[in-house]
Copies of this chain bind each other. A is one copy, B any other.
Amino acid sequence: MVSLDLLKSLSLVSPTKIILLVIDGLGGLPRPETGKTELETAKTPNLDRLAASGVCGLSDPVGPGITPGSSPAHMALFGYDPVVSNIGRGVLEIVGIDFDLQPGDVVARGNFCTADKTGLVTDRRAGRIPSEKCVELCRLLDGLVIENVEILVRPVREHRFAVVFRGEGLSSEVSDSDPQQVGAPPKIVSALAIKAARTARIANQFVAQAEVILVGHFPANMILLRGFSQRPVWPTMGEIYKLTPAAVVSYPMYRGLARLVGMDVLSTGNGIEEEFRTLIQNYKKYDFFFLHIKGADAAGEDGDFDRKVAVIEQVDQAVTGLIRLQPDVIVVTGDHSTPALLHAHSWHPVPVLLSSHWCRPDGVKEFSELACIDGGLGRLPATNIMSLVMAHALKLKKFGA
Shortest distance from the beta carbon of A349 to any chain B beta carbon, whole Å: 8
A382: shortest Cβ distance to chain B, in Å? 11
Nearest CB in chain B: distance from A351 CB, A: 11
Distance between Cα atoms of A130 and B334 in the complex (Å): 58
Q: Say whether A67 contacts B399, CB under 8 Å.
A: yes
Q: Are A30 and B360 in contact (CB under 8 A)?
A: yes
Flag if A369 contacts B374 (CB, 8 Å): no
Judged by a CB distance under 8 angstroms, whether A215 is at the interface is no
Chain B CB within 10 Å — which of A64, A83, A374 has the most? A64
- Distance between A61 CB and nearest chain B CB, rounded to angstroms: 9
| Bound Cα distance A398, B363 (Å) | 34
Q: Which chain B residues border A349 with CB–CB below 8 Å? A: 376
Which of A69-77, A194-202, A263-271 contacts its partner? Answer: A69-77
Contact assessment for B58 and A384 in the assembled complex, using a CB-CB cutoff below 8 Å? no
Q: Verify A68–B6 contact, CB threshold 8 A.
A: no
A203 to chain B minimum Cβ distance, whole angstroms, is 23
A342 and B358 contact, CB distance less than 8 A: yes
Q: A68-B400, A396-B65 are in contact. Are A373 and B374 (CB under 8 A)?
A: yes
Least CB distance, A280 to chain B, in whole angstroms = 27
Does A375 lie within 8 Å of B376, measured CB to CB?
no
| A62 interfacial contact with B, CB 8 Å | yes
Contact with B along A371-386 (1 / 0, CB 8 A): 0011111111000101
Distance in Å: Cβ of A226 to nearest Cβ of chain B? 15
List A residues 159-208 near B (Cβ within 8 Å).
Answer: none
Give bound CA distance, A65 to B87, whole Å: 27
Q: In the assembled complex, which residues on chain B have CB atoms less than 8 Å from the CB atom of A80?
A: none
A124 within 8 Å of B by Cβ? no
Beta-carbon nearest neighbor of A10 in chain B: B66
At the interface, yes or no: A123 with Cβ under 8 Å from chain B? no
Interface string of A317-352 (1 = CB under 8 A from B): 000000000000000000000000010111111000
The yes or no answer to A86 lying at the interface (CB within 8 A) is yes
Complex CA–CA separation, A102 to B322 (angstroms)? 57
In the complex, the answer to whether B65 meets A378 with C-beta atoms within 8 Å is no
On chain B, the residues within 8 Å of A83 by CB distance are 3, 6, 399
If over half of A's interface residues share one DSSP class (helix, strand or loop), that class is named, otherwise mixed; here it is loop
* Least Cβ–Cβ distance between A307 and chain B, in angstroms: 20
- In the complex, what distance in Å separates the CA atom of A65 from the CA atom of B1? 10
A310 within 8 A of B: no
Q: Cβ of A69: which chain B residues have Cβ within 8 Å of it? A: 398-401
A121 to chain B, nearest CB (A): 25
Residues of B within 8 A of A30 (CB): 360-361
Is B1 a contact of A63 with CB atoms below 8 Å? yes
**Cα-based distance from A66 to B8 in the complex (angstroms):** 12
Chain B nearest CB: distance from A96 CB in Å? 9
Contact B2 A82 (CB under 8 A): no
Contacting residue for A398 out of B29, B67, B82, CB 8 A? B67
Q: Mark each residue of chain A from 381 to 396: 1 if its CB lies under 8 Å from any CB of chain B, else 0.
A: 0001011111110001
In the docked arrangement, what's the CA distance between A37 and B360, Å?
Answer: 9
- A375 CB contacts on chain B under 8 angstroms: 373
**Contact status A370-B379, CB under 8 Å:** no
Which of A67, A89, A380 has most B Cβ within 10 Å?
A67
Contact of A391 among B65, B397, B398 (CB under 8 A): B65
What would be 10 A-B contacts, judged by CB atoms less than 8 Å apart? A6-B83, A10-B66, A27-B360, A30-B360, A58-B376, A63-B384, A65-B386, A68-B399, A89-B401, A347-B388
Q: Other CB < 8 Å A-B pairs besides A72-B399, A72-B400, A373-B374, 4 of them?
A: A63-B387, A70-B401, A344-B398, A378-B378
Nearest 9 A/B pairs, CB to CB: A65-B387, A378-B379, A69-B400, A65-B391, A72-B400, A2-B63, A347-B391, A65-B388, A64-B384
